[in-house]
Structure 1
Amino acid sequence: MGKIIDFKCTYQNSVGINQEVTKKLSLKFPEAYKNWNSMALISEELKKYDGEAFCTMPFCHTVEGEAMGGIINLGDEKIGPRAKDYICKKAEDILNLPSIDYSKGRIAEVLKACKHLRDKGENVMLYVSGPFTIMNVLIEPRYIFKVFRKNPDVMQSIFNKFQNEILMFIKEAEKVGVNMISYADSSGALNILGPKFSKQTVEMFTYPLLKKVEEVIKNETIVLLCPKTTFALLGTDKAQWKDIELGQPMKYSEACIKTIGKAKFVGQMCIKNKGFNLKNGIIKTIKLL
């Protein structure tokens, strides 16, 4: 067994929108976060502003938790949606939360925005959160760490619930044409969980989830892993690097698009690092073992 190495990230929870973009669009907030047409418009303008090759959705890490009953402060043009009040008093309460209904609420609007952008010919990357990030919307973290330590069977049941929800979200995303999935769980990283719980999370949740994702996604879809997740998989001997030659130097974000159809997973750099270049023209993909 190897050792999990932490990835020093300066982009944690940095999903959001630029105020220069919001001023240009003259949208009303927080209503703009609720409707697919305004979401799509913001995403298009952010793509232009950042000079990127794809559109991104949504602009926060709260849509899954909200769809499970979480209470959200939708914010404004300066600060995006974030958790407001916890609805679970103990970890076991999570097991009684409803499954996500993708036909209503903000999560449905996110998917409509994705479909609209794909119908216009855009590459679309959907941010999908891991269990600890979703739980940040629902419950105080100390209750999760307590049940993880004292009752791993309950923790496994909680992990199973989130595995089902995340897998379904990815399936629904593919139905509307999303071709890039960004998976991250910064609230469940090594610097927060520690080595022991990080290893257990990989074995109980991350690896089983990604093996299922690998089976269900199409060849036209690629999953961009947060490097923290990548290093957790490598450090527990659940994955290994596989280099793919792209023929010329290019931005990492562009390389991820070029890799669609050649690999299911990449994750050597945070996709929010817009200036990262592959000077040797080689991208490191991830092969699950």
Structure 2
Amino acid sequence: MSKIIDFNCTYDNSVGINEEVTEKTGLHFPEAYKHWDSMATLAEELKKYDNANFCGLPFCHTVEGEAMGGIINLGNEKTGPRAKDYICTKAEEILNLPEIDYSKGRISEVLKACKYLRGKGENVLLYISGPFTIMNVLIDPRHVFKLFRKEPDTMKAIFDKFQKEILRFVEEAKKAGVNMISYADSSGGLNILGPKYAEQTVEMFTYPLLKNIEKMIDDEMIVMLCPKTTFALLGTDKAVWKDINLGGSIKYSEACEKVMGQAKFVGQMCIKNKDFELKDGTIKTIALL
């Protein structure tokens, strides 16, 4: 087996909130983070500001955890929503949390905003979080890591619960017309989990999840993986690079759009690195094995 290498992330859990943009919109915060129309307006303005080829939603990594009962600080015009108080004291309690209801709450508003923007002809990138990032909203991570070490079967059950929810989120995204998905779980990266548990996470969760997503999405959708996830897949021999040459220098995000239909996964660079350029015109797509 190969060795997992880490990707030095300079973005962490950052999201695309910019005070200069929020002031320009005239929206009121944190109310703007709660309603689809203000979300759509903010996404459009951020797209213009970043000179991007997509509108990205949501503006945080908390919607899934909140929809499972997590308590959120909605933030303000400077910072997006973030976790406030943990609701679980033991990792096992996660198994008793309710299924996400995609017809209500902020997660529903996010999907409505996505549908509206797609209706206007925009590329829409939906940010979906992995299990460790979602659990950061629900429980002190120390309890999760302890459970992973001592009760791997229970951890597998927790992973299965999150896989089910993420697949349902992808299905709802498809219904809303979303054509780009960003999947990241920086809270479960090699630098945090260590090699042994990073490898187990790929085996127990990441690879099965992505194989299922691969079956679900069509040629009009693409999944942009966080490079931490990409390198974990490569390092456990679950995926290989597949180069596609697009004929000339091109921005990474634009290349991701162009290879839609030719590949289902990309992930050589963080999508938040808006100005990253493929100078030779070659994008590395990811083929799951």
TM beyond 0.5? yes
Q: Per-residue deviation at 1:272?
A: 0.6
- Report SS of the residue matched to 2:23: helix
Q: How does 1:202-241 map to 2 (within 5 A)?
A: 202-241=202-241
- What are the within-5 Å matches in structure 2 for residues 180-259 of structure 1? 180-259=180-259
Q: State the partner residue of 1:5.
A: 5
After superposition, where does 1:15-94 map in structure 2 within 5 Å? 15-94=15-94
Q: Distance in 1 between matches of 2:155 and 2:143?
A: 11
TM-score (normalised: structure 1)? 0.99
Inter-partner Cα distance in structure 1 for 2:75 and 2:270: 25
Distance (Å, rounded) in 2 between the aligned partners of 1:239 and 1:151? 28
* C-alpha RMSD over aligned residues: 0.5
In the alignment, the residues of structure 2 paired with residue 22 and residue 2 of structure 1 have an alpha-carbon distance, to the nearest angstrom, of 45
Structure 2 gaps, min length 5: none
Deviations 1:177-216 (A, max 9, x none): 0000000000000000000000000000000000000001
Task: Measure, in 1, the Cα distance between the counterparts of 2:263 and 2:74.
Answer: 36
Q: Is the 8 A contact 2:57 2:127 kept in 1?
A: yes
Quote the Cα distance in structure 1 between the aligned partners of 2:31 and 2:8.
Answer: 35
- The question of whether the paired residues in 1 share the 8 Å contact of 2:36 and 2:113 is answered with yes
**2:126/2:178 contact within 8 Å kept:** yes
Structure 1: distance between partners of 2:62 and 2:4: 27
Give ranges in structure 1 of 5+ residues lacking alignment: none
CA-CA distance at 1:257 after TM superposition:
0.4
1:269 is paired with a residue whose SS is coil
Distance apart, 1:248 and its partner CA:
1.6
**Alignment-derived partner of residue 138 in structure 2:** 138
Count of residues paired in the alignment:
289
Percent of pairs with identical residues: 76
Task: Indicate conservation of the 8 Å contact 1:16/1:79, yes or no.
Answer: no
The answer to whether the Cα contact below 8 Å between 2:16 and 2:46 also exists between their aligned partners in 1 is: no
**Which position in structure 2 is the counterpart of 1:172?**
172
CA distance in 1, matches of 2:39, 2:65: 19
2-structure distance, mates of 1:5, 1:187: 16
Task: Measure the CA separation in 2 of the matches of 1:144 and 1:186.
Answer: 15
Asked whether the 8 Å contact 1:246–1:281 carries over to 2, the reply is yes
Give the superposition deviation at 1:16: 3.2
Distance in 1, matches of 2:133 and 2:164, equals: 15
TM-score (structure 2 length as normaliser): 0.99
